[in-house]
Amino acid sequence: MMYSVVIPAAGQGKRMKLNKNKQFLILEEKPVIIHTLAVFQRDSWCEEIIIVANSSEVEQIKELISTYGITKVNKIVPGGNERQNSVYNGLKAIEKAEIVLIHDGARPFVTEELIHKLVVEAENKDAAILAVPIKDTVKESDGTKVLHTVDRSMLWSAQTPQAFKSEIILQAHEWADKNQFIGTDDASLLEQLQKGVSIVLGDYFNIKLTTPEDIVFAQSIMEVKRGGNE
Ligand code: CTP
Ligand code: MG
């Protein structure tokens, strides 16, 4: 079951406070973006990779993919102001694919097993996301005091990849672009159009590197995974 993947990597990484795009942070001798790309390079179901990058970083990415033997990258396209604009640019660059995955460049621990579960679900249901049940007790607040405790039993943290039939996600992005709707993930655009999105159980290890603490978590996850492979 073949798919194309769009990898948005055109952010600034402001919350990481590195003064550079977190895609280039080195973890176990390789940049984060290379760890991410390597998963799709290895996966035989992945036919094509589209990277979305800041124009000023395209050359750097080209050098890295050549150094690390990432051969499935078909195009590197420019990013937009918001993640959603970047993803839309990536989707427009796909030539032909029945199934499209969208996966954050800053989420290096996704596994082939999770990807395959997700792709099968998208084949059957048109749209599927990885998500994990929320672990914290969640409070709604006005900023100073608690208004109430939210019932956690129905709450999930969304992850990427998110997988879609290609024409459906492209239509949703076209609609969002026309109507200036910005969602925090790609599935939310389908939700706006009342289209169903299936949940596939993700993995708590599938973190996105967002704030400085995540670097510590990422290093530990690397150690665990390395241990498991020896
Ligand atoms: N991204 C993108 N284009 C943007 C914004 C984000 O391609 N205009 C990408 C990021 O590079 C990242 C993914 O989308 O791989 C998830 O976004 P996020 O974690 O928010 O990354 P940044 O926007 O870089 O970080 P921050 O919000 O802290 O600045
Ligand atoms: Mg961001």
Q: What is the pLDDT of residues 7-54, one digit of tens each?
A: 999 999 999 999 999 999 999 999 999 999 999 999 999 999 999 999
Res 27: pLDDT:
97
The ligand minimizing its distance to the Cα of 22 is 1
Return the domain boundaries, the chain: 3-128+159-229
What is the arithmetic mean of pLDDT over 142-170?
97
User: Which tokens go with 227?
Assistant: 């241990």
Res 230: pLDDT:
57
Res 182: pLDDT:
98
Centre a 10 Å sphere on the Cβ of residue 58 and count the other Cβ atoms it contains: 15
Res 229: pLDDT:
61
The ligand minimizing its distance to the Cα of 210 is 1
Pocket of ligand 1, beta carbon within 6 A = 8-16, 23, 52, 79-83, 86, 104-106, 208, 210
Residue 73 Cα to ligand 1 midpoint, Å, equals: 20
Query: Mutate which of 32, 35, 104, 208 to test ligand 1's pocket (most atoms within 8 Å of Cβ)?
Result: 104
Atom of ligand 1 nearest to the CA of 79: 3
Res 96: pLDDT:
80
Atom of ligand 1 nearest to the CA of 80: 8
Topology adopted by domain 3-128+159-229: Spore Coat Polysaccharide Biosynthesis Protein SpsA; Chain A (3.90.550)
The ligand minimizing its distance to the Cα of 211 is 1
Query: The complex's ipTM?
Result: 0.99
Residue 21 Cα to ligand 1 midpoint, Å, equals: 9
Q: Is the pLDDT of residue 225 over 80?
A: yes
Instruction: Say how far apart CA 96 and CA 75 lie, in whole Å.
Output: 13
Res 90: pLDDT:
98
What is the arithmetic mean of pLDDT over 106-133?
98
Each residue's pLDDT tens digit, 63-118:
999 999 999 999 999 999 999 999 999 999 998 899 999 999 999 999 999 999 99
Residue 139 Cα to ligand 1 midpoint, Å, equals: 26
Residue 129 Cα to ligand 2 midpoint, Å, equals: 19
Residue 43 Cα to ligand 2 midpoint, Å, equals: 27
Each residue's pLDDT tens digit, 157-216:
999 999 999 999 999 999 999 999 999 999 999 999 999 999 999 999 999 999 999 999
